[in-house]
Amino acid sequence: MTLVDLTRRVESGMPTYPGDPRVSVEPHAEFAADGYRVSRLELGSHTGTHVDAPAHTEPDGETLDAFSVEDLRVTARLVDCRDVGANGLVGADALPSGLDSGVECLVFWTGWEDEWGTDRMADHPALAPETGRACAERDFAVAIDALSPDPTGGDEVPVHHAVLGAGRFIVENLCGLAALPADRPFELFVMPLRVDADGAPARVVAEV
């Protein structure tokens, strides 16, 4: 088995969702002056590769504390939707047929990780509302290599409402999905900071 890190590095000035807090990683104490090092982090709960809890969009949704470590280790399948293109919608027909029993999360590979930090970053493909509903109905969590499974900058977030409203989680801003198998399940470890909030940055690792 091989462990594949699918996580963006947290660093000063990194891209964020429009309107989210800017990210800063700066020295607080330095070795020359203090004899040790401490860094000061300033960031939003949806920085970089992160997990959305239901509380993110649902008025009565649960926070991250509702998810145990076991809940955040899931059997996943890759959905290759790189043919959709800028601002396109991934239809429900893209969902794999005959999914293996036990699959708990679908990882949508849009190819948009290559647009990270570019002017096209917010023009990523998104899931159609019916695709989000299909995932929720089948009790799938959703992960994606883009800013959001909904169109960025839109007034509505139907995929968030469907998936988070069903009590599942969403992972955004994955990278390195080319290393994942396209034809079989794999284990996905989603490890957010242990903070009782609407979401948190996470280390996300696949075992393939």
CA distance 111 to 114: 6
- Asked: is 45-207 a CATH 3.40.1160.10 domain? The reply is no
Q: Which residues of the chain have pLDDT under 50?
A: none
In this structure, are residues 4 and 180 in contact, taking their beta carbons and an 8 Å threshold? yes
pLDDT for the residue numbered 154: 84
Q: Is the dihedral of CA 101, 58, 171, 70 positive or negative?
A: negative
In this structure, are residues 185 and 105 in contact, taking their beta carbons and an 8 Å threshold? no
User: Does pTM surpass 0.85?
Assistant: yes
- Per-residue pLDDT tens over the stretch 159-197: 999 999 999 999 999 999 999 999 999 999 999 999 999
For residue 194, count other CB atoms closer than 10 A to its CB: 10
Report the run of H or E that residue 131 belongs to, with start and end: helix 129-137
pLDDT for the residue numbered 138: 94
HSE-up of residue 54 (Cα within 13 Å, Cβ side): 18
HSE-up of residue 22 (Cα within 13 Å, Cβ side): 5
Question: Structural domain boundaries of the chain?
Answer: 45-207
Task: Please give the backbone phi and psi of residue 177, each rounded to the nearest 5 degrees, phi first.
Answer: -70, -15
CA distance 34 to 66: 39
